[in-house]
Structure 1
Amino acid sequence: MSSCSVENQNPNKSSPLNFSNLWLKNEKVLDHVVYAALRRFSLSNKHPPSLPPHLDDVTVASSPPQPPTNSNKILAFDFPQIVVSDDFTPLLSDEILLHILSKHPEISQRNSNCLVSKRWLNLQGRLVRSLRVLDWDFLISGRMFFRFPNLTHIDLLHGTVVSNSSTPNLIGHELGSFHISPDDFLCDDHCLLPVDEVDFGLKVLASMYPNLRRLVVVNCSEIGLLSVAEDCPTMQELVLHRCNDHLLCGIAAFTNLQILKLIGVIDGFYKSLVSDRGLTILAQGCKRLVKLELRGCEGGYEGIKAIGECCQMLEELTICDHRMEEGWLSALSYYENLKSLKLVSCKGIDQNPELYEQLGFCQMLERLHLEKCQLRDKQSVRALFLLCQAVVEVVFKNCWGLNNAMFLNANLCRRVKSTSIEGCSRLTTQGLENVILSWKELESLEVISCKNIKDDEVTPKLSALFSDLKDFKWCPGNNTSFLLSTRLSLSDMGKRGGKFFKKFQI
């Protein structure tokens, strides 16, 4: 018998060497087994096997095994493909990402978030609650509803103004920028959209934003306001420019309205009539008002009285540049819960107030603010302080005609704790002293830009009063503040804190 190898005689019987060769011949099967084991291990353990340092924070993407590149290796297989990625936001839901974006405090950073992607742009639009519309087509075309679906505060004032194409250089000007808050105005080179277009825009707006709470609009009618009142039951604040009596018929439908601003007349720009009829309609319809501002209104005693009797929750009343009839001031005694009264840019208080005995006073009034008012009629000024004799805070700011005789009427207010006097050039140091010494409960005093109040005229009694104040600011407008500090050094000012400062002496 010829000698031969065992392998040639019995090919079906495998030796250990043949067994290993069999595995090596089936490298693809081995790759599948190893890959499946690694995948099962990664799914069954919370902490996957650690990767090399240069592969930290990566995403593992599955891919089919590839044939070995080197056939000389005993166990050759491909590891899963590694894809490096730093963006994990696609793994977050819209609700979670919205919650994260809403926590960012800086508005400028929120605006830059819109540049990340289209998804972030849409999410950032869902976070916006307040918007000032500059282009009316942005509202009518419907783009505003898709871009900002959750608005609650909308200002349509700038969008309803159509500028003249011949004066484009006025866009950046103070007048051309269309800011029509109570201190800003429309330019003559601009006109307003027709009433029909504004009403149509209000109808579309109300149908898309049922949760609207604040609205600023100009040149609309009662039809447009009624559509807003029907579709927006949560409306709380309303600002109406170019308001008139007919427009106030639509305001009565806002049952939950709390803040209302009516602008009837702005000298040189537009004029609308708001009389006792419109104020009476307002009083009967909006009984939940808390803040009311009337600018350029021509009402009188009956309209102001109706608001005081019907709007019993009213706490703040602001009257700007009024055209009120004579005797309106006495109607303020019907405001039982009024806490703040502010008069701004009034050429006169009341030319013919009622007799002092019949005026009464506002028992709950706490703050009286007079700004840019002409206080030249002594009788009306005295009647005003009689009505406001219960106030604890008085503010005079840039009031014309406030001299010593006019300021002396403030003695009627015995409970004043805080006062601020700014820009009253006719008031002197003696006139200031005669009044504030009578306020036994005074705790805070500010005197700013009053050129006739001088430091060297401060008496020892007045300096002693200054030393007892909790809050004191003295800047009358001259450059002799050193004289005041020298003169006050003779009094006891600053000695109350002596024990405190001794603790820190070295």
Structure 2
Amino acid sequence: MATFAQNCSKNLKTLKLIRCLGDCDTVLEKLGNGNRGVIEIHLERLQVADLGFSAISKCSNMEVLHIVKAPECSNFGLICVVENCKLLRKLHIDGWRTNMIGDEGLIAISKECPNIQELVLIGVNPTSLSLTAIASNCQKLERLALCGSGSIGDAEFACIAAKCVALKKLCIKGCPISNVGLEMLAWGCPSLSKIKVKKCRGVNGEAAESIGCAQWLQSALCSSPSAVVTSRLLLRPSTHVRAIHALCPLSPTSQLLSND
């Protein structure tokens, strides 16, 4: 393995290391030594510590990084990568069996990766502090997945709704969000086209119905931007489902508009 890394071609673009035994830090050190051609790296179920992540941070042209079930990765290793890899577009972090990645590392992403388009956080517990930073600074973020995060509730999703203007696709799984949080997303993310919610106990069928109404009302009022803004201010989540139904009953016309 080490011999391969030392002699690998400078034309190497993608590297995937999955379920490899032994210490991979040395391998990654040799790979990252001046290798600017690597664009995509997947590390899954490996014994990789911050030394290894510091090494791959030398792949300064890297655009895609997947860190899956690498329990020794911490904020320090993640910060090394994002500070040196300014071209990152896609970042997946599966924090399986570790609490070593948190707000410090995520805030670094917000500062150093303004061009990031896709962010997946699994088993990571950010707070509103880091989510606010990401939502405010990463204006090109189009795809976001938050799974198995016990710290992400309605307040955090209110931040996403207010700041993530480019967000198109959102996946939520196993987070303590309620119907109110989903309604905020429906009214706050103008580009949102797909929401996937799974295993969130605070969400029921009313949320899908109210989101459908919100999307219809925005389409119906699209000819008058000021009316859309006014409606968003009046129909705060506290008014909940009844007020939305009063303004946008589920008629055949609304069904047609939503399908368009």
Q: TM-score when scaled to structure 1? A: 0.38
In structure 2, the residue matched to 1:466 is 255
Conserved? CA contact 1:211–1:232, under 8 Å: no
Q: Secondary structure at 1:329's aligned position in 2? A: helix
3-state DSSP of counterpart to 2:12: coil
**Comparing both chains, which one has the higher relative contact order based on Cα–Cα distances under 8 Å and sequence gaps of 6 or more?**
2
* Distance (whole Å) between structure 2 residues aligned to residue 206 and residue 215 of structure 1: 14
2:183 corresponds, among 385, 408, 411, to 408
Q: Which amino acid aligns with 2:41?
A: L
Matched, 1:261 2:56: no
Q: How many Å separate the matches in 1 of 2:59 and 2:147? A: 27
Give the C-alpha shift of residue 290 in structure 1.
1.7
Show the counterpart of 1:204: 4
2:105 to 281, 296, 303: 303
Paired residue secondary structure (1:462): coil
Of 321-330 and 244-253, more deviation after overlay is shown by 321-330
- Aligned-partner SS, 1:432: helix
**Counterpart residue type for residue 466 of structure 1:** Q
Report the AA paired with residue 261 of structure 1: H
Is 1:223 equivalent to 2:26 in the alignment?
Answer: yes
Query: Does residue 86 of structure 2 align to residue 283 of structure 1?
Result: no
**Whole-Å separation in 2 of the counterparts to 1:314 and 1:392:** 11
Separation in structure 1 between the aligned mates of residue 29 and residue 9 of structure 2, nearest angstrom: 15
Query: How much has 1:319 moved relative to structure 2?
Result: 1.2
Q: Is contact 2:154–2:177 with CA below 8 Å preserved after alignment?
A: no
Contact 2:143 2:168 in 1 (8 A): no
The secondary structure found in structure 2 opposite 1:309 is helix
1:292/1:316 contact within 8 Å kept: yes
- CA–CA separation in structure 2 for the residues paired with 1:237 and 1:413: 33
Q: Which amino acid aligns with 2:100?
A: E
After superposition, the C-alpha distances for 1:248-283 in whole angstroms (9 at most, x for unaligned) are 211121122111112355xxxxx32412x2222112
Q: CA deviation at 1:208?
A: 4.7
After superposition, the CA RMSD in angstroms is: 3.3
The answer as to whether partners of 1:236 and 1:257 remain within 8 angstroms in 2 is yes
User: In structure 1, the residue corresponding to 2:41 is in which secondary structure?
Assistant: strand
**Structure 1: runs of 5 or more not aligned:** 1-200, 266-270, 350-376, 444-457, 472-506
Question: Where does residue 378 of structure 1 map in the other structure?
Answer: 154
Match of 2:234 in 1: none
> Per the alignment, do residues 416 and 253 of structure 1 end up closer, same or farther by CA in structure 2, a change over 3 Å counting?
closer
1:148-174 deviation per Cα after TM superposition (whole angstroms, max 9, x unaligned): xxxxxxxxxxxxxxxxxxxxxxxxxxx
**Secondary structure class of the residue paired with 1:341:** strand
Higher helix share: 2
Distance in structure 1 (CA, Å) of the matches to 2:169 and 2:111: 25
| Bigger radius of gyration among the two | 1
Cα distance between partner residues in 1 of 2:181 and 2:141: 24
Q: CA deviation at 1:234?
A: 1.7
- Aligned pair partner of 1:427 in 204, 207, 217: 204
Give the aligned length.
222
Identical aligned residues as a percent: 18
Query: Structure 1 residues 216 and 295, CA, compared in 2 at 3 Å: closer, same or farther?
Result: same
Partner SS state of residue 465, structure 1: helix
User: Is 1:316 aligned to 2:104, yes or no?
Assistant: no
Alignment of 1:321-470 (within 5 A): 321-324=123-126, 327-332=129-134, 333-349=136-152, 377-388=153-164, 390-391=165-166, 393-396=168-171, 403-413=178-188, 415-416=190-191, 418-421=193-196, 426-429=203-206, 431-439=207-215, 440-441=217-218, 461-463=249-251, 464-470=253-259
- SS for the counterpart of 2:145 is strand
Question: Which of 222, 228, 235 is 2:38 aligned to?
Answer: 235
Q: Are the structure 2 counterparts of residues 259 and 282 from structure 1 closer, same or farther at C-alpha, using a change threshold of 3 Å?
A: same
Q: Is the 8 A contact 2:122 2:149 kept in 1?
A: yes
SS in structure 1 at match of 2:54: helix
What is the distance in 2 between the residues matched to 1:289 and 1:421? Answer: 24
Structure 2, unaligned runs of 5 or more: 221-244
